[in-house]
Structure 1
Amino acid sequence: MASSIAADRFIRNDKEAEIASRSERLAAVFAERAAKHDEEGTFPFENFADLRQDGYLKLTVPKRYGGEEASLYELVLAQERLARGDGSTALAVGWHIGLMLQYRYTHPWPEALYASFCREVVRDGAMINAFASERATGSPSRGGRPETIAVKTDGGWLISGRKTFSTLSPILKHFTVSAAIAGGDETGDFFVRKGPGVRVEETWSTIGMRATGSHDLILERVFVPDGELISRSGPDFPPRKADDGGGWLLHIPACYIGIAWAARDFAVRFARQYRPNSLPGPISELPHIQQKIGQMEADLITARTLLYAVADRWDSRPEGRIGLKPELGLAKYIATNHAIGIVDQAMRIVGGASLSRTLPLERMYRDVRAGLHNPPMDDAVLRGLALRALAEE
């Protein structure tokens, strides 16, 4: 582990080395549990207890509230290595630490609520996620109006509806939801505490990322006080949140590159060690195996280089963050598609044994495909790049 950190050219200082070391230590533990949770489709509560114990959940909380105030670059570094142990855990916790980084820069919440929640993250290991997807609307990035409804009542709101893809739902005590405001065309985002009227319906049964706990969340006349309305659309309610280009979403490509990196490592070790009796040495000496390893290396280096370069630009040039949206999307597009290719090459190297559930590659193969369905989608990324090119004089 220590040698891999020392050899990684993307680790630039002692702080980043410490962040990487913690993630590698946790990843080694999570890797031992990953197959069982994948097979059973269960949520890895013990992994999150370890994340809380090691302080990982406060990674992106501001220092003034007791957090580590990690940069986007450091978030990517942490998530990439965590995913080498278990993609489901890394993707799930990525929504929490990613949102906490976004909130730090965009200030969407009332300050008192934000300060209180940050302290709860540091003190108790609280987590957050934003639930916006619904069966009728699909991904919120497509712009559909929520069917979840918020009705005004004395001192607050009553919210009813169903949210899908509610990652972390088995463990969260707090989350935000988007809802249409009854009686008009406005929508709002609300801070909700798990309690009366909130229940989780265990609907998550997929071929990949089986342990993220992305079940349906059902709200039945859940009361939210006025002070916990985060934002509201409409001319009388100016946007509270600043636009930072969405850099926090780089936690997604970091996760999938981490999975691919683990698959690459497995295949390279296998190639060094596997010696069929028809050959004088290991299969790593065969030209076609070296070709596949070289392709994995090319894809991994390309994806990581772009990912870290964009994260570094986002950190170092705050004034240019909005303009980085196409590059942020491209980093995700390259990472997820290259990750799929890397895992495919790893399975070709290992051969038929790679399909066995006794090896981790078949789980990695299933997990990386989930990246195609995380935002931003491939078509949106390519359209954004096309529109920018067409707008050039």
Structure 2
Amino acid sequence: MNQAAKVDASQMLSTEVDELIERARHLGETVFAARAAKYDSEATFPFENYDDLRQHGFLGLCIPREHGGLGADFQTYCLVSSELGKYCGATALTFNMHACTTLWTGILADDLDMTPEQREEHERRRVGHFRKVIEEGAIFAQPFSEGTAAAAGKAPFGTTATKVDGGWIINGKKIFASLSGAANYYGILCTEDKEVRSMRDTIYIAVPADAEGVSVVGDWNPLGMRGTVSRTLLLKDVFVSEDAQLMPRGIYHQAASRWPHMFMTLVPTYMGLAEAAYDFTVRYLRGEIPNTGPEKRRKFPTKQITTAEMFIKLQQTRALFERTVAQARIDPSKRERLSAYATQYTIMENAQDICRLAIRTCGGQSMLKSLPLERMYRDSRCGSLMLPWTAELCLDRIGRESLYESGESDE
């Protein structure tokens, strides 16, 4: 991105981001919160919420303004998404999949090195992808996981793309494919089919949900984030055109190496969940939750102490979140990269702990499915498992990269 565009993005934060957050808050308070229990209990996709997101322009949140979108940068996306996460975790988490597709294809790709021919090719193709969102209201998914080390960046993707005249033939399987059966397009990460396959040959390509050879299989009955409907996606000899590519050939590997914050788009959902659990606890102890009894439990010192503990942990988490998303950029320093891992780990772990404290502080009634805290608690347990940066992988990378410079070994 050129310097002028970066200045415009920072100006947007000071003049428009509050309005976007308020719009997200309004949707959350007026409709999303009331629907969340239904999606959770039935493990069904929040189609109605997406109708509202579409109507209010949020499907184009990260699409550049010159292409008809709202022009949000990475930091703005994170702040808006964390607000959505307060009201329906499944909606916020699936919205991440859609938004980061447009973010990666948009302003993130503008920062990457491309030849003039690649740049022209990418600009022409993304016009078509963005038009599908803005004019047709299309939803994009982004299935990563394959049950191998690929999604963690340790091996080539098992899903393959074979070059043929006019396009590609895609074969493979994605598990935990959020929005499966709900998205119009799947942003598939796959490896170009060569004799020797390499992560450098990753292809990022949009597969239409109605293309021949695409199928969704399996049941969906998980612990939490039930409304994401993350069933298994199968791709059998699926043909897609050249123009379906979301990034030019070979560019995704550069993005993954140079723009690591691109893998943090999951964390705003869990930041929002943590804040929602704290807010519920305060309202519950003040006697403001309907049908939970007339007594104001705030008078008990034990409740006051735990509320203080929750508040401190929440403030620490939010401060780290805001600092790190503000630092997101291409080619971050080693310290900024380590901070990104630490932020991902902290938010995912602290969201669980804040929800645990909320359950303990509110007591037995909070376990009832008639109250949202029980759902928040289950949803919060899922964050540390999310690829590509699970809690274990964050710890592994922080430890290794703290102690070794690039290229160093003990052999």
1:17-56 superposed matches below 5 A: 17-28=18-29, 29-56=31-58
Q: Is the 8 Å Cα contact of residues 274 and 283 (structure 1) preserved in structure 2?
A: no
**Structure 1 pair 166/19, CA: closer, same or farther in 2 (3 Å)?**
same
Q: Is the 8 Å Cα contact of residues 303 and 334 (structure 1) preserved in structure 2?
A: yes
SS of aligned partner of 2:351: helix
CA distance in 1, matches of 2:295, 2:232: 52
Q: Which residue of 2 aligns with 1:8?
A: none
Q: State the one-letter code of the partner of 2:340.
A: L
Equivalent residue in structure 1 for 2:397, among 368, 384, 388: 384
**Scaled by the length of structure 1, what TM-score is found?**
0.87
Tell me if 1:64 matches 2:66. yes
Gaps of 5+ in 2: 1-11, 113-120, 406-411
1:206-355 superposed matches below 5 A: 206-229=222-245, 230-232=247-249, 241=255, 243-273=257-287, 282-314=296-328, 320=332, 324-355=336-367
Q: Is the 8 Å Cα contact of residues 121 and 127 (structure 1) preserved in structure 2?
A: yes
Structure 1, residues 141-198: CA drift from partner, whole Å, max 9, x if none? 1523333333343333222222112112222222222334445123442332222211
Gaps of 5+ in 1: 1-10
Q: Is the 8 Å Cα contact of residues 208 and 370 (structure 1) preserved in structure 2?
A: yes
Q: Is the 8 Å Cα contact of residues 102 and 246 (structure 1) preserved in structure 2?
A: no
**Structure 1 pair 383/149, CA: closer, same or farther in 2 (3 Å)?**
closer
Q: Which residue of 1 aligns with 2:6?
A: none
SS of aligned partner of 1:102: helix
CA distance in 2, matches of 1:306, 1:139: 28
Identity of aligned residues (%): 31
CA distance in 2, matches of 1:283, 1:356: 18
**Structure 1 pair 138/391, CA: closer, same or farther in 2 (3 Å)?**
closer
Q: Which residue of 2 aligns with 1:200?
A: 216
Tell me the CA shift for residue 274 of structure 1: 8.0
Tell me the CA shift for residue 377 of structure 1: 1.5
**Structure 1 pair 335/294, CA: closer, same or farther in 2 (3 Å)?**
same
SS of aligned partner of 2:180: coil
CA distance in 2, matches of 1:12, 1:149: 40
CA distance in 1, matches of 2:394, 2:104: 20
Tell me the CA shift for residue 246 of structure 1: 2.5
Q: State the one-letter code of the partner of 1:247.
A: H
CA distance in 2, matches of 1:152, 1:12: 42
**Structure 1 pair 291/124, CA: closer, same or farther in 2 (3 Å)?**
same
**Structure 1 pair 149/281, CA: closer, same or farther in 2 (3 Å)?**
closer
SS of aligned partner of 2:219: coil
How many residue pairs get matched?
Answer: 373
Q: State the one-letter code of the partner of 2:269.
A: C
Q: State the one-letter code of the partner of 1:223.
A: F
Equivalent residue in structure 2 for 1:361, among 369, 373, 385: 373
CA distance in 1, matches of 2:166, 2:227: 38
Tell me if 1:124 matches 2:136. yes
Equivalent residue in structure 2 for 1:105, among 103, 108, 111: 108
Q: Is the 8 Å Cα contact of residues 164 and 216 (structure 1) preserved in structure 2?
A: yes
**Structure 1 pair 322/204, CA: closer, same or farther in 2 (3 Å)?**
farther
**Structure 1 pair 153/119, CA: closer, same or farther in 2 (3 Å)?**
closer
SS of aligned partner of 1:49: helix
Structure 1, residues 52-99: CA drift from partner, whole Å, max 9, x if none? 000011111111111111122211211111111100000000122123
Deviates more, 1:241-250 or 1:36-45: 241-250
Q: State the one-letter code of the partner of 2:26.
A: R
SS of aligned partner of 2:381: helix
CA distance in 1, matches of 2:256, 2:280: 42
Tell me if 1:191 matches 2:203. no
Q: Is the 8 Å Cα contact of residues 98 and 249 (structure 1) preserved in structure 2?
A: no
SS of aligned partner of 1:110: helix
CA distance in 1, matches of 2:372, 2:54: 26
SS of aligned partner of 1:284: helix
- Structure 1's consecutive aligned runs of 4 or more residues displaced over 6 angstroms after TM superposition are none
Q: Is the 8 Å Cα contact of residues 292 and 349 (structure 1) preserved in structure 2?
A: yes
